[in-house]
Amino acid sequence: MSVRHALRAVTILSAVAFATMPASGQSLRYANQGDLKSLDPYTLNESTTHAHLGHVYEGLIARDKDLKIIPGLAESWETPEPTRWRFHLRKGVKFHNGDPFTADDVVFSADRVRATGSNLQTRIAKDAKVVKVDDHTVDFILTSPNPILHSQWDTWYIMDKKWAEANNAAAPTPQAATTPSFASLNANGTGPFTIESHQPGVKTVFKANPNWWRKPEHNLKEIVFTPISSDATRVAALLSGEVDVIEPVPLQDIARVDSSPNAQVLKGPEIRTIFLSMDQVRDELLYSSVKGKNPFKDVRVREAFFKAIDVELIKTRVMRGLSTPSALMIAPQLFKLSGDFTRPKLDPDGAKKLLADAGYPDGFEVTMDCPNDRYVNDAAICQAVVGMLARIGIKVNLLAQPKQQYFAKVLKAGGYQTSFYLLGWTPGTSDAHNVLYDIMGCRDDPKVARGEANLGGYCNKKLDELADKILVEPDTAKRDQMIKQAFEIQQKDYGYIPLHQQALAWGVSKKVKLTQRADNQVLLYWARIGE
């Protein structure tokens, strides 16, 4: 390292130390590679953002330490009819500003989460009616049965109708917004912590809510979050004791952290799948040397890309053995028939022939969009993919950006402006239907939210038909067979290139006790210090 770079690292670390000085009482200092850009809970459907905001906001349901559904702001619910769900709300709950929580807030939040600009529109079907029965009872009336309606509602956070309307925040803040809204800079939830201050890119301070309706399991007075994009600086801050928790620990630093006297790495399997996909809907591919057509509409080109990617090399070289190569777009622990699938073999020569047969004997040029601060070694994975595709004549121009810029470009609000991309997905329902609907579903019907996270526009109507049947099928064995059929369809289409499930790696001070969930949400309301 040069003297200049060394001085820069010291300066950054000093800034971190200043920003995270502990206050009186139990102050937990947390650093993540990514930033918390917006406090609006409907701006970005991303697990790290959900975790941050889950300290402030709450859903009608919650998930426990084992990801089981438990009551949240709704104390109970039932289905008096197959197409009607009734939720009984907790009484006496107040928002942080003192406003009472009522059914009006649920109805408002249901409308807001489905409005233009929301990145969580799949939480509630557009044609569902949300009806206030009384101040503490709400009915959700559906056009067809949905036995897993509430399975993603732990991250559908309920907002204060009165507060939002009074502050011109009735509409959600789009990810691509260039001007911050009131809701993106301020928060008013019912959760265990309040927001004392929020400086995007610098620091966010959470204070324990003394009036929380639930009995706290944590012993914290505050959480100080500081984004630290530099791997080296983030690890140095943990080892020096200047922060208490970091996520993620760079794979190359796991042994060093584990051998330190004051910190350790919490490890475990994650249910997130990291994958590649490409634009399969535009007639002319963006950001490409090919003009007048889209090569990714040809299944032979998609198959060639798939067979050029060496997932075992990514595992050993990039992930240092801490990944599980995947044949499917879902983690094996979430679908018991995943063992029936095998990944097509690595075949660069076969890939070249496929490209030639498709009319691209010399390959072509394309831009790849990739986050550089969202997943474990995300930019390094993309760089490895660039090299692998170069072997079959594909020149990939890598555009690796911080997640804020990346998501603003590639998501719906940004117009799905991507030709080839890397993404990670954790099924919010812990169920295969979520992947089939949100990621693989056709996005060609503006009346439904199907395929909202389908950035490349992959579409197979037979898969959609199966997904709709899967949603309402009560027989587990029949349902699993239909899920298998759906994945077989997608596999033959080569619509996606699953890579792996990454491993969890959280760096934690030995004075801190944390609960690590398989969805990789760092939820500090279970943290305890000094015990």
**E-assigned strands of 33-127?**
61-63, 69-71, 74-81, 84-89
Q: Which helix (H) or strand (E) holds 307?
A: helix 299-308
- Residue 4 above 70 pLDDT? no
The pLDDT of residue 19: 42
Model confidence band, residue 17 (pLDDT cutoffs 50, 70, 90) = very low
Which pLDDT value is given to residue 1? 35
Q: Is the pLDDT of residue 140 over 70?
A: yes
Q: In terms of Cα–Cα distance, which of 282, 456, 325, 309 is closest to 389?
A: 309
Give the pTM: 0.85
CA-CA distance, 291 to 366, in Å (whole number)? Answer: 11
Per-residue pLDDT reduced to its tens digit, 385-436? 999 999 999 999 999 999 999 999 999 989 999 999 999 999 999 999 999 9
Confidence class of residue 25 from pLDDT cuts 50, 70 and 90?
low
User: For residue 143, what are the contacts with CB-CB under 8 A and spacing of at least 6?
Assistant: 83, 125, 127, 128
Find the range with the poorest average confidence among 10-14, 168-172, 411-415, 525-529: 10-14
Q: How confident is the model at residue 449 (pLDDT cuts 50, 70, 90)?
A: confident
Average pLDDT over residues 256-270: 95
Tell me which residue has tokens 């996909």: 277
Tens-digit pLDDT profile for residues 450-490: 999 999 999 999 999 999 999 999 899 999 999 999 999 99
- Ranges assigned E (strand) in 235-313: 245-247, 263-269, 273-278
pLDDT value, residue 10 = 35
Class of domain 52-177: alpha beta
Whole-number pLDDT of residue 177: 87
* Of the listed ranges 24-28, 66-70, 505-509, the one predicted with least confidence: 24-28
Q: Is the pLDDT of residue 11 over 60?
A: no
Given this model, what pLDDT does residue 5 score?
37
pLDDT at 18: 37
Structural domain boundaries in the chain? 52-177, 273-503
Q: Please report the pLDDT score of residue 3 as a whole number.
A: 30
What angle in degrees, to the nearest 10, is found between the helix axes of 348-357 and 299-308? 160
Does residue 103 register a pLDDT over 70?
yes
Average pLDDT, the chain: 94
Residue 448 pLDDT: 85
At 144, phi and psi to the nearest 5? -150, 160
pLDDT in tens, 142-158: 999 999 999 999 999 99
Mean of pLDDT values over 77-81 = 96
Euclidean distance between CA atoms 144 and 147, whole angstroms: 10
Q: Domain 273-503 class?
A: alpha beta
For residue 423, what pLDDT is reported? 98
Residue 433 identity (one-letter amino acid): H
